[in-house]
Structure 1
């Protein structure tokens, strides 16, 4: 059985690297996207994505909130965590969770586990795009 897959969408390369590396260390499979356009391309590619972690403000045509909305239209049960220093939790709908930047890897890992379980626990929900 494969580990659950998390899509990390973050335009700051160092932040994306730290997030992806930390989540891999925990046991998740990680896909990385440098912006919302690339994230949407991954979702449309039919790769299995169990959960999305996305920044809000990114270059390109698709920001984190639009990516969240498009993800929900493709797979309503797939959880999305929106992370931002420029947004309030009340503005993060339809995201499942909101983390204000800066946040700790422990807080992110706890949020992911609450939403989809540990890396090897497969959800009964259909999360593929």
Structure 2
């Protein structure tokens, strides 16, 4: 958080859901970046060193889903916090990297905002 504002990358293939998540991130006072799939998210992570948290969907087209993406991020960028959401998959915490949080869709905006705040304050 170099400029005092946390940077959150939203990874979601549905444009409508992604726009809602971006609005949620911005209304919570954070800078929002967006990607429509894991490959795009990785390109963004490789190009920026200021991303504090990734908020990703599970089911996405491309080379990896949100679960694989979260494990890849944890191994390559360990300090980045992770929130994973899905409308279909009910995940066990054990299938996600340590320290990640899972939310079922539809999720409550307040629950997500509170999780982001808690995770980011834990830095």
Instruction: Give the TM-score normalised by the residue count of structure 2.
Output: 0.88
The structure with higher relative contact order (CA 8 Å, sep 6+) is: 1
Whether the aligned pair in 1 keeps the contact of 2:37 and 2:60 (CA below 8 Å) is yes
Identify unmatched segments of 5+ residues in structure 2: none
Cα distance, 1:72 vs. partner?
0.6
Instruction: Say which of 113, 116, 119 aligns to 1:115.
Output: 119
* CA deviation map 1:33-83 (0-9, x unaligned): 011111111112134110010001101112111111111111222211110
**In the alignment, what sits opposite 2:73?**
71
Q: Any residues of structure 2 matched to 1:27-66 within 5 Å, and which?
A: 27-66=29-68
Could you say what secondary structure the match of 1:53 adopts?
A: strand
Q: 2:83 aligns to what SS in structure 1? A: strand
**What CA RMSD, in Å, does the superposition of the two structures yield over aligned residues?**
1.7
CA deviations over 1:98-124 (Å, ceiling 9, x no partner): 00111011111011111003xxxx93x
Q: How many residue pairs are counted as aligned between the two chains?
A: 119
Q: What TM-score do the two structures reach when normalised by structure 1?
A: 0.84
In structure 1, stretches of 5+ residues that fail to align are 124-129
